[in-house]
C-alpha cells in the first residue's frame, strides 16, 4: 500500500494554496517546527518518533505521513516505530490501533523506499 505517499500527495495542492494565502503564518510555524525538532537533549530521531505518536493520538493522517517520513529520514527503525506506536495504544486505546496501523504502514513504506535508495543507510539503522 502507498498510504504515506497517497496522503502527502492529496495534501500537496491544498497546503500550497493555503501557504500562499497566509505565508507569514506558515513561516512562523516552520520556525517553531524546526526549533522544536532540532537535536538537543533529545535527538531529532527521538523527537520525530514522539511527534509520530502524538499524530496517532490526534488522528491526523497528514501529521502521521509527515512524521513517519521524517522519522525514517532521521534513522528510526521499524522496531523503534512499532514500540512508539505501541505506547499510543496505552494512552489512546482503540482508536490508536487504527491510526497506529496507518502510521506503521506509512513508516514501512518510507523505510522501504529509503532502503531501496540507500541500502547502506537502511542496514546501519537496523543495528
Domains of the chain, CATH where assigned: 3-126 (1.20.1290.10)
Please answer whether residues 94 and 101 qualify as being in contact, where contact means their C-beta atoms are separated by less than 8 angstroms. no
pLDDT tens-digit map of 9-22: 999 999 999 999 99
How many CA atoms, within 13 angstroms, populate the side-chain half-sphere of residue 22? 8
| Portion of the chain with pLDDT greater than 90, in percent | 90
- Taking alpha carbons only, the member of 18, 118, 12, 3 closest to residue 69 is 3
Please answer whether residues 125 and 77 qualify as being in contact, where contact means their C-beta atoms are separated by less than 8 angstroms. yes
Its pTM stands at 0.89
pLDDT of residue 106: 97
pLDDT tens-digit map of 28-63: 999 999 999 999 999 999 999 999 999 999 999 999
Assign 4 to helix, strand or coil.
Answer: helix
CB-count burial class (<10 Å; 0-12, 13-18, 19+) for 34: exposed
Give the chain's end-to-end CA distance (angstroms, integer). 26
pLDDT of residue 122: 60
Nearest-angstrom CA–CA distance, 97 and 70 = 21
Amino acid at each position: 500500500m502507498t498510504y504515506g505517499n497517497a496522503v502527502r500527495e492529496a495534501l500537496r495542492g491544498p497546503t500550497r494554496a493555503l501557504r500562499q494565502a497566509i505565508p507569514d503564518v506558515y513561516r512562523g510555524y516552520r520556525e517553531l517546527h524546526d526549533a522544536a525538532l532540532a537535536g538537543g537533549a533529545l535527538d531529532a530521531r527521538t523527537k520525530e518518533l514522539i511527534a509520530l505518536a502524538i499524530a496517532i493520538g490526534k488522528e491526523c493522517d497528514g501529521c502521521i505521513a509527515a512524521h513517519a517520513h521524517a522519522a525514517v529520514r532521521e534513522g528510526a527503525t521499524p522496531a523503534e516505530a512499532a514500540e512508539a506506536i505501541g505506547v499510543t495504544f496505552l494512552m489512546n486505546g482503540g482508536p490508536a490501533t487504527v491510526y497506529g496501523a496507518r502510521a506503521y504502514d506509512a513508516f514501512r513504506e518510507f523505510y522501504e523506499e529509503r532502503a531501496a535508495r540507500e541500502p547502506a543507510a537502511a542496514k546501519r539503522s537496523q543495528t
